[in-house]
Every structure is written in C-alpha cells, then in structure tokens.
C-alpha cells in the first residue's frame, strides 16, 4: 500500500516540529550545524578517516571582492588543524584577536567534542548512528503521544514506521554534518556555483593542471570552469566562473583551492606551515578540567522536566 501524500505530510508536520522545538537531539544538531557552517571553507581537510598520514597546518580561508569604484573588501578566517596517525582530527578556530574561540576534536568512531576554552566546557556530539537512534526514539515517543491524544489521522495505522525511518535518516545526516562539518560541501557548492548557474555549470569543462609542491608536499591540480553566455542573467559580456583545486594524494587532503566568479569575487583556501609530523596525543583528548555536556544527558534531563 502506497503512503498517501496528505497522510505523510500530516504525520511529518505533527512529528518534526515537536522534535525540533522540544527535542534536544535535533536542537543540538541544528545549533551546532549553524555554528560550524560559518567556518565551512576551513574544513575541507576533514572527511573520511585517514590513518598513518599525520600532519598539522594553518588553514586560511579568504574572500576578496573588488568593487566598481576600485575599493576592495577582504574577509579572512584562520584555523589550526591537526591529524594524528590514528586518523583523529583537531581544528582550532581563532578570533580576530588571535585567541582560540572553539576547538573541534573528531575521533575515529564518529564522535566529536566541541570545546570552548573561555569557560572550559565541551559538548559531546554523538556519532551519526547514535544520533539516528536518538532521533528514532524521540520520533516514536512523539507518535505514541499523538496516538494517545487522538491527533493522528484515522488511516495512519501502520504508516508510522515510514515517518520514524525518515526521521532516523534525518538524525543520522544531522550527526554526520555535526561530526564532519563542511567536508566537501563547501567545495561542491562553489563548483556548482549559485543555484541559478546549474544550466551552465552542468556543462563545465575540467582541465588537468599537473603537479605542484605546497610546503614540500606534492599536489595534483584540476581546474573546472564554465561560461554564462552574454544576456543570460542580464550580463552584457560572457561570465567565466572557475574553480581550481590542488589535492595531495599522500595526505589525502586539499591543500589549496581558488574559486573565482566576477559577480562575487575570489575565494581562496590554503594550508600554510604544513608539517608532516605526529601531533601530541593530548591534542585529541578533552582536558580533565573541562565540564563535558552529553546529548544523552540532556535528553534525560529533558524527560525529567516533562514528568
């Protein structure tokens, strides 16, 4: 039996708002996702677990926009990134004053900790599978509550499993985003260009740039470009958008990118002071004097308040 769109929509409308508004799992994931999204260009070094390839570097993201009057706007962000031989990663985000504002430590099991040095607190971010399980539990509890209150459609029997599965998948995606923020997302978004560019970006041409060394590390380069013909977006002349990427196979990281679009300016990302040394083990653990907040603890506290 196919699920009726109206019934599915009603169930989703009933369950998801409650999950987002009252459930700490979704709220935690959304809040953290918004925070890390601001630093997405700095996170292209993160992705799958890479073992036996330790390094440390300064990750610098810069946006330069030239104005018609000759003025120029430059915005930059800096982070210090580490990876040990086990594949654990650490990213330190600094403010304009050079002070470390936040630290993300990601373990090989998918869990992560967001540290705030100013108040010595940390938030444990569940692994994607764990996040899916927590979201599933909340979804089932909400459905049970709606059933008791008589707020589910009369013909919704047996279809709750579909909603639970979809919410579970959403929870897993949220956990993956939180634990691996920005991996490939920033680059893919820029390569594709703005949503309105899809008609032209789908016809992009890729050119191999050969090999080049960055801080003594060999990288392979590619340039992907597409053209927006004159008159398509009100432009008098053709607009050429290019995205250049340099990837180091030995370390399995992107060491340099440059996205150029005359409409928005140049966005660059690079790793400086790249060192292929084993970072100190203490960098990948939460200091003993930090107070750690766990998603499951928050859930239990929330349940107690609802009693």
pLDDT in tens, the chain (307 residues): 344 444 444 444 444 444 444 444 444 444 334 333 333 444 444 557 899 999 999 999 999 999 989 999 999 889 999 999 999 999 999 887 888 999 999 999 888 899 999 999 998 887 666 566 666 666 667 777 777 777 666 555 555 555 555 655 555 555 555 444 444 444 444 444 445 688 898 899 999 999 999 999 999 999 999 999 999 989 999 999 999 999 999 999 999 999 999 998 999 999 999 999 999 999 999 999 999 988 666 555 555 565 5
Q: Which of 204, 269, 270 is nearest to 242 (CA)?
A: 204
Residue 61 near residue 266, CB atoms below 8 Å: no
Residue 280 near residue 72, CB atoms below 8 Å: no
pLDDT at 164: 56
Element (H, E) at 180: none
- Alpha-carbon separation of residue 166 from 19, 160, 269 (angstroms): 13, 10, 35
Q: How many domains in the chain?
A: 1
Count of positions (residues) in the chain: 307
Residues facing 265 on adjacent strands: 261
Q: Is residue 60 part of a domain?
A: no
pLDDT at 68: 87
The tens digit of pLDDT for each residue in 28-40 reads: 444 334 333 333 4
Q: Which of 273, 186, 256 is nearest to 220 (CA)?
A: 256
Distance CA 98, CA 264 (A): 27
pLDDT at 30: 40
pLDDT at 35: 36
Distance CA 49, CA 127 (A): 13
Q: Which of 31, 61, 62, 56 is nearest to 43 (CA)?
A: 61
Q: Is residue 76 part of a domain?
A: no
Q: Is residue 30 part of a domain?
A: no
Distance CA 76, CA 39 (A): 10
pTM over 0.85: no
Listed in sequence order, the DSSP H helices in the chain are: 5-22, 24-37, 128-148, 160-179, 185-192, 198-201, 295-306
What angle do helix axes 5-22 and 128-148 make, rounded to 10 degrees? Answer: 110
Contacts of 103 (CB under 8 A, 6+ apart): 90, 91, 92, 93, 114, 115, 117
What is the 8-class DSSP label of residue 42? Answer: G
pLDDT at 136: 65
Residue 208 near residue 222, CB atoms below 8 Å: yes
Q: Is residue 232 part of a domain?
A: yes
Contacts of 148 (CB under 8 A, 6+ apart): none
Three-class SS of residue 256? Answer: strand
Q: Which of 26, 30, 295 is nearest to 138 (CA)?
A: 26
Q: Is residue 141 part of a domain?
A: no
Q: Is residue 289 part of a domain?
A: no
Q: Which domain holds residue 242?
A: 184-276
- Dihedral (CA of 97, 101, 103, 104) sign: negative
Q: Is residue 130 part of a domain?
A: no
What is the 8-class DSSP label of residue 276? Answer: -
The tens digit of pLDDT for each residue in 250-280 reads: 999 999 999 999 998 999 999 999 999 999 9
Q: Is residue 1 part of a domain?
A: no
Distance CA 217, CA 221 (A): 13
């Amino acid at each position: 039996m196919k699920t009726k769109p109206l019934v599915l929509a009603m169930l989703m409308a009933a369950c998801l708002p409650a999950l987002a508004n009252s459930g700490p799992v979704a709220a935690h994931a959304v809040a953290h996702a918004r925070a890390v999204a601001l630093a997405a260009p700095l996170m292209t070094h993160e992705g799958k677990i890479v073992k036996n390839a330790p390094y440390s570097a300064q990750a610098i993201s810069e946006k330069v926009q030239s104005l018609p009057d000759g003025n120029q706007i430059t915005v930059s962000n800096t982070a210090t990134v580490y990876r040990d031989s086990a594949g654990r990663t650490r990213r330190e985000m600094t403010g304009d004053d050079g002070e470390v504002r936040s630290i993300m430590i990601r373990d090989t099991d998918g869990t992560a900790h967001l540290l705030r040095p100013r108040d010595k607190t940390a938030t444990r971010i569940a692994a994607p599978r764990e996040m899916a399980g927590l979201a599933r539990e909340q979804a089932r509890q909400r459905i049970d509550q709606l059933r008791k209150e008589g707020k589910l459609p009369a013909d919704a029997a047996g279809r709750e499993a579909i909603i639970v599965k979809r919410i579970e998948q959403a929870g897993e995606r949220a956990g993956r985003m939180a634990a691996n923020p920005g991996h490939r997302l920033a680059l893919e978004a820029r390569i594709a260009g703005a949503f309105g560019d899809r008609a032209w970006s789908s016809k992009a041409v890729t050119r191999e740039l050969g090999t080049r060394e960055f801080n003594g590390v060999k990288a392979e380069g590619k340039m992907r470009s597409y053209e927006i013909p004159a008159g398509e977006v009100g432009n008098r002349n053709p607009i050429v958008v290019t995205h250049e990427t340099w990837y180091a196979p030995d370390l399995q990281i992107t060491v340099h990118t440059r996205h150029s679009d005359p409409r928005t300016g140049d966005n660059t990302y690079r790793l400086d002071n790249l060192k292929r040394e084993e970072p100190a083990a203490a960098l990948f653990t939460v200091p003993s004097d930090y107070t750690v907040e766990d998603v499951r603890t928050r859930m239990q506290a929330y349940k107690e308040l609802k009693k």
